[in-house]
A = this chain, B = another copy of it.
């Protein structure tokens, strides 16, 4: 059978601060610069969720994008939209919310909900110029 990838795009707006709790302020400032602002800054995150699998001959779908949209709402938007990632979420209580780590957390949450015969890749735009991508390996 033929393998096709499908993508659903979503957005969430969140505050965050980049820092390593094991370091003092000076070292955090040297490494993370203005991203280390103790009062936080924020972003409009754009998320692409790519799912790869076979086309179901009855529906013509790899996965119902309405179902994928709901899954993203439950696993990503409801948890992270209009939140402070450092303060309001369990995932980033002890994990630095860099775009890389956010993408990995999102991949892990979504992949746990996907059927085994589907593979997953997520792309996260922190800004129009800073992007990350993770496929689970």
Q: List residues of A whose CB falls within 8 A of some B CB.
A: 2-11, 13-16, 18, 20, 22, 31-35, 37, 39-44, 48, 50, 55, 58-62, 64-66, 81-84, 87-88, 95-101, 103-104, 127-134, 136-137
Contacts and interface: CB of A to CB of B under 8 A. Distances in A.
B42 A42 contact: yes
13 contacts: A3-B137, A6-B100, A13-B43, A15-B40, A20-B58, A39-B87, A39-B88, A41-B82, A42-B43, A44-B44, A44-B127, A55-B101, A62-B100
B37 A82 contact: yes
Given A82-B37, A100-B55, A132 B6 contact: yes
Contact of A84 (B18, B39, B100): B39
Contacts of A61: 98, 100
B131 A6 contact: yes
Contacts of A87: 39
Nearest to A129: B9
B60 A98 contact: yes
A83 B39 contact: yes
A116 B15 CA distance: 34
A82 to B, nearest CB: 4
